Amino acid sequence: MNFTWPVDYDRDVSDTQSDGRRPVFAAERRQRIIELVRANGAVSLRELAQAVHSSEVTVRRDLRALESEGLLNRHHGGATLPGELSREAGYTQKVSLESAEKAAIADLAGALVEDGDAIVVGPGTTTQEFARRLTRHAELAVVTNSLLVAQVLSASPRVEVMLTGGTLRGSILALVGSAAEHSLAGLRVRRAFISGNGLTAERGLSTPNMQVAGVDRALAGAAEEVVVLADHTKIGVDTMVQTVAPDRIDHLVTDDAAPRDVLDDLSARGVRLHVAEI
């Protein structure tokens, strides 16, 4: 379905292209924004501005208009489709998003691991990138429910990898369910490195799926400290099922495009911030 709006000649200077291309009007920009959000589920403000060749100020105005039409939901730093509270993006949708940010976050998070550590690592494309930094360590024990993490570490003879049991959730290539949760019971490790679909100062980490949330809680419960890996598109976003309360999060590793007000609120709650410069 295509959406149309009356032609809007209210545009800022950045909408007139310096390379000679014709101006981009509001109706055309908003149509493109809807297409991008529909294709990806969640898109950052910076990505949208780059994609439609406009300023972030202009795109914010477009997002307000689209939200008033019920076509998307605005949040800190970007937009999601309506119903995103219960929508879980799959691996193929997420793997190419924010790749530079994920790499920088993985580098910072890697500094929180030492030789001889025992850790748990949750599913996600950011934790997959983080796992690549673990291959440099010796005498490391890693427990994970992520097939992607296990695959990355499988070629490293100095890292002992233990997979949980459970039922395969194909969309994120991870093991979930009661068997996965039970396999983590009684386990005690130094740190848990987990991701999610949203992080707010009020509710902490969240995900749209109850089975995924159950295993994430078990991963967090097995650790002395919880480290959340989340790029800026997830900061300030709230999804359906809470996994880790803010007072249980010890570290947040994110990038410098994350909304400052949310980071300040998290810091005030005792979360130690590690912000990667992109």
> Is the same domain home to 200 and 265?
yes
Type of residue numbered 247: D
> Is the same domain home to 156 and 30?
no
> Is the same domain home to 37 and 122?
no
Q: Which of 36, 60, 82 is the last residue of a domain?
A: 82
What pLDDT shows up at residue 14? 39
Tokens of residue 49, six digits: 């501005």
Contact 10/55 with Cβ under 8 angstroms?
Answer: no
> Is the same domain home to 144 and 246?
yes
Phi-psi sector, 77: left (phi>0), alpha (psi -120 to 50), beta: left
> Is the same domain home to 232 and 196?
yes
State how far the alpha carbon of 92 is from the alpha carbons of 60, 89, 174, 179, 205, in Å. 28, 8, 14, 26, 22
What pLDDT shows up at residue 59? 92
What pLDDT shows up at residue 16? 47
Contact 123/151 with Cβ under 8 angstroms?
Answer: no
Contact 189/156 with Cβ under 8 angstroms?
Answer: no
pLDDT above 90: residue 179: yes
Q: Which of 51, 82, 113 is the last residue of a domain?
A: 82
Q: Rounded to a whole number, what is the distance in angstroms from the first to the last CA of the chain?
A: 36
Q: Is 224 exposed, middle or buried (0-12, 13-18, 19+ CB in 10 A)?
A: exposed
Task: Find tokens 């105005």 and name the residue.
Answer: 61
**Percent of the chain having pLDDT more than 90?**
60
CATH at 104: 3.40.50.1360
> Is the same domain home to 64 and 122?
no
> Is the same domain home to 23 and 110?
no
Give me the count of residues in the chain.
Answer: 278
**Percent of the chain having pLDDT more than 70?**
84
CATH at 54: 1.10.10.10
Each residue of 18-29: b (16+ CB within 10 Å) or e?
A: eeeeeebebebb
> Does residue 55 or residue 145 have the better pLDDT?
145
> Does residue 145 or residue 71 have the better pLDDT?
145
> Is the same domain home to 61 and 110?
no
Supply the range of the domain harboring residue 60. Answer: 13-82
pLDDT above 90: residue 43: no
Range in 6-20, 24-38, 116-130, 261-275 with the lowest mean pLDDT: 6-20
The total number of structural domains in the chain stands at 2
Task: Find tokens 């980490």 and name the residue.
Answer: 205
**Four-point Cα dihedral 61, 63, 65, 71, nearest 10:** 170
Instruction: Tell me the per-residue pLDDT of 78-121, one tens digit each, with 9 for 90 and over.
Output: 787 776 544 555 444 444 445 889 999 999 999 999 999 999 99
Contact 213/203 with Cβ under 8 angstroms?
Answer: no
Type of residue numbered 60: R
Rg for the chain (alpha carbons), in Å? 20
Tokens of residue 6, six digits: 């009356």
